[in-house]
Amino acid sequence: MLTEEIQQIRKESDKDFSSVEDVRKLEELRIKYLSRNGLLAQLFDGLKDVPKEEKPSVGKDLNELRKSLTEKYNSLKSSLDDKADQSKDEIDLTLPGTKRVIGSKHIIIQTLDEIKSIFKGMGFSVFEGPELESDYNNFGALNFPHDHPARDMQDTFFVSKDFLLRTHTSPVQVRIMNKYKPPVRAIMPGLAYRNEAINARSYCVFHQVEGLYVDTDVTFAELKGTLVSFAKQFYMDDLKYRFRPSFFPFTEPSAEMDITCFICKGQGCKICKKTGWLEILGCGMVDPNVFKNVGYDSEKYTGYAFGMGIERIALLKYGIDDIRRFFENDLRFLKQF
Ligand SMILES: [Zn+2]
């Protein structure tokens, strides 16, 4: 009788195990057959009632059944576990994506990039120089003699008697001319420092872009042409401009360039103080004294230079009311650009 039961359970278990599809079902079968109170244990219990002479053969059948069930269970268990591991690695394309926060270029750098790209298009190279400069490169070579009142135009952070934080990017012009013979045509973007009271309109550090072109027969008309072309590309195509006489120690003659206020289109507004004009840069023909200081022959060469403050340009272009916002690193502000 036990032999028949063994046969029956073998058949039943064959059917059960062949239909297993998941770990939960397999666990049910383990409990049904292989647990301490499972069918197999019950069969082994029945062994004590088997006549003595049949015990060896029935016992052998039982052991074989146990072996076969255990093997089936183990093999199914490991293949189902493998499947579970694999599905963990699969990417579920139906899930919504995780949004990554990506930084962006600072508005000042964006403005600088735009200016650089316009001047590169007109044949200018880009040069940079150190922010810690000698007094000579920052002032002396640029025709600011010692004790000259022009030095008072720029409040300076001195690091020592002869070194300072550059007050403009103009010393890079000196470095270029000391290194290269004409023709040179370059712009020089970078940081400059002034020891000024900090308020909505001025800050102790700011960005400048300067430009320099030296060759034989460079004229003021070429300077105008270059700057007007720049202004039209950078601000707007349909603009009026004017050049007003000004003074810089390193250029002669010197001028400041105004363009139609692009906020009010020349009608007059708060930004342009009702004049309809905005000053965008300073410029002029390189002073012969500067050429003398860098060893250029001022009889043979002429050149022009110009410079503009980037923060001022960005303030105007984007209608920002306070220069300090550029340096405060407030993400709510920076993310608007
Ligand atoms: Zn205006």
Q: Ligand 1 centre and the CA of 274: distance in Å? A: 6
CA nearest neighbour of 153 among 57, 254, 221, 297: 254
Q: Between residues 332 and 205, which one has the greater pLDDT? A: 205
What is the per-residue pLDDT for 295? 94
Q: Ligand 1 centre and the CA of 273: distance in Å? A: 7
Q: Ligand 1 centre and the CA of 264: distance in Å? A: 4
* Residue in this structure with the two tokens 């507004």, named with its chain if needed: 269
Q: Is the pLDDT of residue 90 over 80?
A: no
Half-sphere CA count of 259, side-chain side, radius 13 A? 23
Q: How do beta strands 125-126 and 184-193 pair?
A: parallel
CA nearest neighbour of 337 among 322, 319, 323: 319
pTM: 0.68
For residues 304 and 253, give the distance between their C-alpha atoms in angstroms, rounded to a whole number: 10
With a CB cutoff of 8 Å and minimum separation 6, the contacts of 126 are 116, 119, 120, 186, 187, 188, 189
What is the per-residue pLDDT for 173? 95
Other CB atoms within 10 Å distance of the CB of residue 7: 12
Q: Is the pLDDT of residue 332 over 80?
A: yes
Q: Ligand 1 centre and the CA of 315: distance in Å? A: 13
Q: What angle do CA 18, 12, 82 make, to 5 degrees?
A: 25
Q: Which helix (H) or strand (E) holds 245?
A: strand 241-248
What is the per-residue pLDDT for 112? 94
What is the per-residue pLDDT for 91? 78
The top-level CATH class assigned to 108-334 is alpha beta
List, as ranges, residues with CB under 5 A of the ion ligand 1: 261, 263-264, 269, 271-272
Half-sphere CA count of 255, side-chain side, radius 13 A? 16
What is the per-residue pLDDT for 144? 85
Q: Ligand 1 centre and the CA of 320: distance in Å? A: 14
Q: Ligand 1 centre and the CA of 18: distance in Å? A: 85
Q: What mean pLDDT is predicted for residues 165-185?
A: 95
What is the per-residue pLDDT for 155? 84
Q: Is the pLDDT of residue 86 over 80?
A: no
Query: Of 3-7, 100-104, 248-252, 267-271, which has the strongest mean pLDDT?
Result: 248-252
pLDDT band at 150 (very low <50, low <70, confident <90, very high): low
- How does pLDDT run across 257-302, given as a tens digit for each residue? 999 888 888 898 887 889 999 899 999 999 999 999 999 999 999 9
Average the pLDDT over each of 35-39, 72-76, 199-203, 291-295 and give the range with the smallest value.
Answer: 199-203
What is the per-residue pLDDT for 321? 80
Q: Ligand 1 centre and the CA of 321: distance in Å? A: 14
Q: What mean pLDDT is predicted for residues 90-111?
A: 85
Q: Is the pLDDT of residue 178 over 90?
A: yes
Q: Ligand 1 centre and the CA of 169: distance in Å? A: 29
What is the per-residue pLDDT for 50? 85
Q: Ligand 1 centre and the CA of 318: distance in Å? A: 13
Q: Ligand 1 centre and the CA of 319: distance in Å? A: 11
Q: Is the pLDDT of residue 196 over 80?
A: yes
For residues 247 and 245, give the distance between their C-alpha atoms in angstroms, rounded to a whole number: 7
Concatenating the DSSP letter of every residue in 5-29 gives HHHHHHHHHHHHHHT--SHHHHHHH
Q: Ligand 1 centre and the CA of 327: distance in Å? A: 26
- Per the prediction, the chain carries an average pLDDT of 89
pLDDT band at 153 (very low <50, low <70, confident <90, very high): low
β-partners of residue 260 are 277
Q: Ligand 1 centre and the CA of 257: distance in Å? A: 15
Q: Ligand 1 centre and the CA of 269: distance in Å? A: 4
